[in-house]
Structure 1
Amino acid sequence: MAVLRKLAIAALALGGAGAAAFWWLTVPEKLGAETLAALGTGDATRGQRIFDAGGCASCHAKAKSEGDARLQLVGGVELKTQFGTFVAPNISPDAKDGIGGWSLEDFANAMLKGVARDGQHLYPAFPYTSYARMKPADVADLYAFMTTLPPIAGKAPDHDLAFPFNIRRGIGLWKQLYLSDEPVVALAAGTPEKVLHGRNLVEGAGHCGECHTPRSFAGGPENAQWLAGAKAAEGDGVVPNITPEGRDMSGWSESDIASYLETGFTPEFDSVGGTMVEVQKNMARLTAEDREAIAAYLKAIPGRANGFSGSQPKPTG
């Protein structure tokens, strides 16, 4: 009996130590003073460009919204994945149902750290693993623009997730593996400014890697195969390889890529399709310099073999 008692005590001690370690490792981490100071005051005009680059309306406005309706960020769009169904929230300036009561600091913590105003982890269906690489000043500009949008009442439904994915605290462990503000592609000293600018857009606000990079069993991006193509998050489709070794884009020039982002037509005169339709519409709203920078970056990154099994689709969706 004494031995059993000692084993029970040891098991309880180990369990307690494990629980304490889990709690410590999963604490939501907020921004430090240096980053908060770098936010500045923000500029709404510049922020509209970040809004378009990030495709905010594609997820947070009602499906197929056009014109002013795409600025009504009531949420509700569903993303059905292997982990469950994620629902985009209301991020309009509505004080009750949206983010109207959020400060710039609250907003920046969500964008760069994946931490909500109430201190809980946000699910990475919101692509903060990419936004973490944004410049703090760009985040402040986006916030300034968001405050100019119409407040829309109406709370979006909750996510529909099964155990254990419905335990938000566990996202802290996931972040230990996958959340970083370091660039994915290390560029050599003397790299042209245009390429660096393209990296900021593609790896940050544009969050291109969220769809074009394959994911691990835990749903984290496998950055060793950056932009090499992936299985679609929804359905059975695939997202194309857009590195210089991608089968259908390997012969594209920088001007071909920039033109595709502006017009939606490939050099072969195919038109954009699938989920890329929304992305292309957003990219068309950027400046020509932005699109050219994105193209320059995509031609400068390492080529990769396809990051998924199966045939390579044309980059039309």
Structure 2
Amino acid sequence: MKRTLIILLGSSVAFAIGWKSLTSEATIASSLKGLEGDVGRGAYLARASGCIACHTDVVNGGAALAGGPPLKTPFGTFYAPNLTTDKVHGIGGWNIDDFSLALRSGKSPQGDSYYPAFPYTFYTKLSDQDIADLWAAFKTVPAIGVSAKDHELGFPFNQRAGLTLWQALFFNEERFQPDTSRGEKFTRGAYLVEAATHCAACHSERNLLGALDQDNPFTGSESMLEGEGRVPAITKQALLGKGWTELDLAYALKSGLKHDGDAFGGSMGEVVRDGTSFMRKADREAIAYYLMNK
């Protein structure tokens, strides 16, 4: 598979350079100016969105948000960057517009495209108020003067020009559009699953270029992380077929224990430990409700 990926991406790098102007600017207007962020809500959203889990090397005793552990994938090894307020190694030199550009457009302040290992394809659905709240919370993080490790990627994956074409092909900037006809609980669950907690990032198949199969979400996939095996399907049919109930699922997101008494392992265990276990009971129940009624 890796040989095929190299051939496909290698042939697209030169073409991607010519496409760079197509995605160099955000395409959706926002009104961040003058918005007051809520630190508490932002901190909660950061937990729910996996920021702590990915950007903190817990196993090796790393400081909070100072850079994540290695993520070994078929494309190479990725390291989540330092998100503390350090102006040299972190995001202390950013402003709220830089922050929004990164989260919702997949671009650095310099206009470089980010690798989709960073789930901006989901965070693009965050609202202006979400961004303001998150930014308020991140500004309270103590500065840690440590640079995260550089990604370890071979050619052509180390050529960021190819990411511009990837975004042109597979990334649509959009905001979350609630389906209010399904009720408040369903809408809240949809927002959490489809945007903040980005469940499809692990539970959906990807194509040879690492883009999600949008037509068949939540049907399970081979994990993109080395040594994790297959990630189970979490469609309504799959969950019911395995004997899950809404109550079981909501409890598992708190405890890390599955309905059969086994415990989540691998990255799902980390998701619970660093993310969903901190969420409000109502939000865990909303996630379960959405997945079981989608």
| Number of the residue aligned with 1:229 | 220
Amino acid at match of 2:39: A
State TM-score, norm by structure 2. 0.87
Match of 1:170 in 2: 162
What corresponds to 1:198 in structure 2?
189
**Closer/same/farther in 2, CA of residues 36 and 170 from structure 1, 3 Å limit:** farther
CA contact (8 A) 1:26 1:170 kept: no
* Matched residue, 1:26: 20
CA distance in 2, matches of 1:187, 1:110: 23
Aligned residues of 2:32 and 2:132 also touching (Cα < 8 A): no
Shift in Å at residue 260 of structure 1?
1.0
Offset from partner CA, 1:263-297 (integer Å, 9 cap, x none): 22222222222221111121011111111111111
Q: Does 1:100 align with 2:92?
A: yes
How many Å separate the matches in 1 of 2:60 and 2:130?
A: 25
- Is contact 2:220–2:231 with CA below 8 Å preserved after alignment? yes
**Equivalent of residue 47 in structure 1, options 42, 48, 65:** 42
Counterpart-to-counterpart distance in 2, 1:96 and 1:64: 24
Cα 1:251–1:181, aligned 2, differ >3 Å: closer, same or farther? farther
> What TM-score do the two structures reach when normalised by structure 1?
0.81
What are structure 1's unaligned runs of at least 5 residues? 1-17, 302-317
Q: How does 1:4-153 map to 2 (within 5 A)?
A: 22-27=16-21, 28-31=23-26, 34-37=29-32, 40-64=35-59, 72-153=64-145
Instruction: Specify every segment of 5 or more residues in structure 2 that has no aligned partner in the other structure, as ranges.
Output: 1-11
- My pick for the range that moved more, 154-163 or 239-248, is 239-248
* Alpha-carbon contact 1:60-1:89 (below 8 Å) kept: yes
CA distance in 2, matches of 1:38, 1:223: 33
Residue 261 of structure 2 aligns with which residue?
269
Query: In structure 2, what is the Cα distance between the partners aligned to 1:20 and 1:96?
Result: 32
Aligned to 1:137, the other structure's residue is in SS state helix
Residue 13 of structure 1 is matched in structure 2 by none
* Displacement after TM superposition at 1:177 (Å): 2.3
Distance 1:247 1:95 in 2: 45
Q: Does 1:154 align with 2:137?
A: no
Residue type of the alignment partner of 1:56? C
Letter in 2 for 1:42: G
Counterparts of residues 306-317 of structure 1 (less than 5 Å)? none
Deviation at 1:183, TM superposition (A): 7.6
Distance in 1, Cα, partners of 2:279 & 2:209? 33
Residue 71 of structure 2: SS of its match in structure 1? strand
CA contact (8 A) 2:17 2:162 kept: no
Partners of 1:133 and 1:188 lie apart in 2 by 14
* Bigger Cα displacement from structure 2, 260-269 vs 193-202: 260-269
1:32 Cα deviation after fit: 5.2
Is the Cα–Cα contact under 8 Å of residues 39 and 140 in structure 1 kept in the other structure? no
Asked whether the 8 Å contact 2:205–2:212 carries over to 1, the reply is yes
CA 1:30 to 1:279, structure 2 compared with 1: closer, same or farther past 3 Å? same
CA distance in 1: counterparts of 2:94 and 2:204, whole angstroms: 32
Q: How many residues align?
A: 280
CA distance in 1 between partners of 2:18 and 2:179 (Å): 37
Query: Secondary structure at 2:162's aligned position in 1?
Result: helix
Shift of 1:31: 2.9
Report the counterpart of residue 204 of structure 2 in structure 1. 213
Residues 1:285 and 2:292 are matched in the alignment:
no
Q: Amino acid of the residue matched to residue 288 of structure 2?
A: A
Query: Cα distance, 1:119 vs. partner?
Result: 1.4
State the superposition RMSD in angstroms.
2.5
Alpha-carbon spacing, 1:173–1:264, altered in 2? closer, same or farther (3 Å)? same
1:304 corresponds in structure 2 to none
Instruction: Give the match's secondary structure for 2:40.
Output: helix
Instruction: Give, in angstroms, the shift of residue 250 of structure 1.
Output: 4.6
- The answer for the alignment partner of 1:259 in structure 2 is 251
Distance 1:30 1:116, change over 3 A: same
Distance in 1 (CA, whole Å) between partners of 2:252 and 2:218 is: 17
Q: Distance in 1 between matches of 2:15 and 2:233?
A: 39
